Structure formats: C-alpha cells, structure tokens
Amino acid sequence: MICWPAPAKLNLFLYITGQRPADGYHNLQTLFQFLDYGDSLTFQLRQDDRIKLVNSISNVPDESNLIMIAAKLLRTVALQSGIPRDQMLGVDIGIDKTLPMGGGLGGASSDAATVLVALNQLWQLKLSTEQLIEISRQIGADVPIFIYGHSAFAQGIGDQLESIELPENYFLVVQPGIEISTAKIFNHPALIRDTPVRDLTTLLNSAFSNDCEPLVRYLYPEVDSVIKRMSAFAPTRLTGTGACVFAEFQDETSALAAKTALNLPNAFVAKGINRSPVYTNLIR
C-alpha cells in the first residue's frame, strides 16, 4: 500500500475578466501556490478490475466523488488507447481527508489529480504530464494545476498555466465554519466579471485581491468577520470562492503567533511551496 499526498492550493490573487457566452465559464487571471498541507491517499492494487473507495466521504456519494470519477476516467482512457483488457486495472483507494469541503483550497480537485498521477504510475500507463492534464480538464477547472505540479500564473478558465517561482512564505489559513458553493458565487449577478486583463508583470507589482471576495463577504458575514480580525495581523484575502481565508507571513513564528492570538477554530499554519509534493513519489 502506497501513500500519496494531495496538497492544498491558494489563489494568491483572483480576477474575473469575462464570461464565455458559449458555455458560461468565466475567464480568470489567478496565481496558484501549493501548501505543505493537505489530504493523503493510499492505493492498493487489486487482482481484478474493480475500483473501490475504501472509506467514503460523508455526504458525498461514491459515484459523485472526484476520486472515483478520476480513476474510472483514467481506466477508460487507458483501455481506449490500447491497454490490453486483461491487464488488471483495479485498485482500492483510501483517503485521510484533512482539507475542508467548500473551502477554496482545491481539496477535491487535488485528490482527483493525485489519483491520476498515482495510477498512471501504479498501472504503468506511461501517459505524459500533458496527457494527464488533458484528461483532468474533463473533471474540473482546478484539477490541471495539481497535475501541472508547480506554482503558476493561470488564465483562461484557470487551465492555461505558466510556471512562476514565488517566495515560499508561511500562511495562516482559517476555515470560518461554513461551506460555500462555487457555483452559487459564479452564478450570482453581483459577482465582479469585468476586471481588465493585465500582463503578469503588472499584476505582480499591484496589490493582490480577489474579485469573489466582496460578494462572499456580503453573503457570508462569518467570512467578513474573520477577515476583519485577521487583517489586524497581516493583509488577509479569500482563496478561490472561499470559504477559507489566509494571511501571509515571512516566517513561521509570526504566523503561529497570530494563530495563537486570534484563537480561531479551524485554523492552521502551512508553508507555501512551489513544487507539488505529489511528484516526489515518482522518483522512487
């Protein structure tokens, strides 16, 4: 049985630059960085072709879980590409779920990406990173960044990725005790959708913000309250559509001191990292 990480991500900034008329998806400019904190998945190969989730997640039917969706999609692609049908493409998958649902940390997307990367190796499919990214686009808009595996500036619907080296600072992250539906925020008429497109240099030299934050703070007073409290210690922003918010510190000591002083539940300190820990498993 092999254990693989599924790290969290932060959107250090997030701007919505328009909405595509053809499919309703929103065009974004965002900056992704991983955290050294997240879920853990285990994989045990089977002697048959059954894909089984060992421990289900509360309130998420197995058939709707992105872990199962990713594993079954990868097997379908493998069979369509000529993998012999008698090759045993079965697996038992377990999950130690740490990341909150509806938190904006990419938990479900990260889990799905880890499934694709891990099973590509364990099933010896030999698909390239580019092929896995293409498969991941069928699962969700945030999945490609976790396959990509490096901090990145993202455009399009978040899947046009450009690597970037970012300071690996420390973050205090707080889950305000609520779950926020991404669809609800992106479908809301009051969401900012007309931020001008800017080049990366301009964005990096401007104050970072999140176009979802004003709406989320208005709809969810719990988020507004946490941001106000955390802002006394460091600039604080929403990640994704929330509900998690984060403050950035140059050292772990300062982040931990703020965590202690605020005494907020559902808070943790983690380090920003530029390379996903998923890929350390491929070096074995």
The verdict on 248 and 112 lying in the same domain is no
Tell me: pLDDT of 276 over 90: yes
The verdict on 244 and 153 lying in the same domain is no
The reply to whether 42 falls in a domain is yes
Of 164, 179, 208, the one marking the end of a domain is 164
Tell me: pLDDT of 284 over 60: no
The verdict on 156 and 198 lying in the same domain is no
Taking a C-beta distance cutoff of 8 angstroms, is the pair 206, 242 a contact? no
Give the rounded percent of residues in the chain with a pLDDT score beyond 90: 86
The verdict on 209 and 129 lying in the same domain is no
199 is catalytic: no
The verdict on 40 and 174 lying in the same domain is no
The verdict on 184 and 224 lying in the same domain is yes
The reply to whether 279 falls in a domain is no
pLDDT at 259: 98
Tell me: pLDDT of 237 over 80: yes
The pLDDT tens digits for 67-94 are 999 999 999 999 998 877 667 789 999 9
The verdict on 158 and 26 lying in the same domain is yes
Taking a C-beta distance cutoff of 8 angstroms, is the pair 34, 145 a contact? no
| Number of domains making up the chain | 2
| Residue located via tokens 């595509």 | 20
pLDDT at 60: 85
Residue 268 belongs to a domain with what CATH number? 3.30.70.890
The reply to whether 103 falls in a domain is yes
For the residues of 79-136, what is the DSSP string, one character each? HHTT--TTS---EEEEEE--SPTTSSS-HHHHHHHHHHHHHHHHTT----HHHHHHHH
Of these residues, 111, 142, 159, 211, which one is catalytic?
A: 142
The verdict on 21 and 141 lying in the same domain is yes
Taking a C-beta distance cutoff of 8 angstroms, is the pair 15, 29 a contact? yes
CA distance 65 to 219: 27
pTM of the complete model:
0.95
The reply to whether 208 falls in a domain is yes
Taking a C-beta distance cutoff of 8 angstroms, is the pair 147, 117 a contact? yes
Of 130, 164, 198, the one marking the end of a domain is 164
pLDDT at 84: 74
The verdict on 185 and 69 lying in the same domain is no
Residue 100 belongs to a domain with what CATH number? 3.30.230.10
Print the domain residue range for 209: 170-273
The verdict on 211 and 156 lying in the same domain is no
The pLDDT tens digits for 15-73 are 999 999 888 889 999 999 999 999 999 999 999 989 999 998 888 889 999 999 999 99
The reply to whether 284 falls in a domain is no
The reply to whether 131 falls in a domain is yes
Taking a C-beta distance cutoff of 8 angstroms, is the pair 147, 116 a contact? yes
The verdict on 21 and 61 lying in the same domain is yes
Number of other residues whose CB lies within 10 A of the CB of residue 69:
18
48 is catalytic: no
Crossing angle of helices 107-122 and 129-136, in 10° steps, is 140
Least Cα distance to 89 among 122, 126, 129, 135 occurs for 122
The reply to whether 220 falls in a domain is yes
Q: What is the largest CA-CA distance in the chain?
A: 61
3-state secondary structure of 157: coil
The verdict on 37 and 122 lying in the same domain is yes
Q: What are the start-end ranges of the H helices in the chain?
A: 66-80, 107-122, 129-136, 143-148, 182-187, 200-204, 213-219, 221-230, 252-262
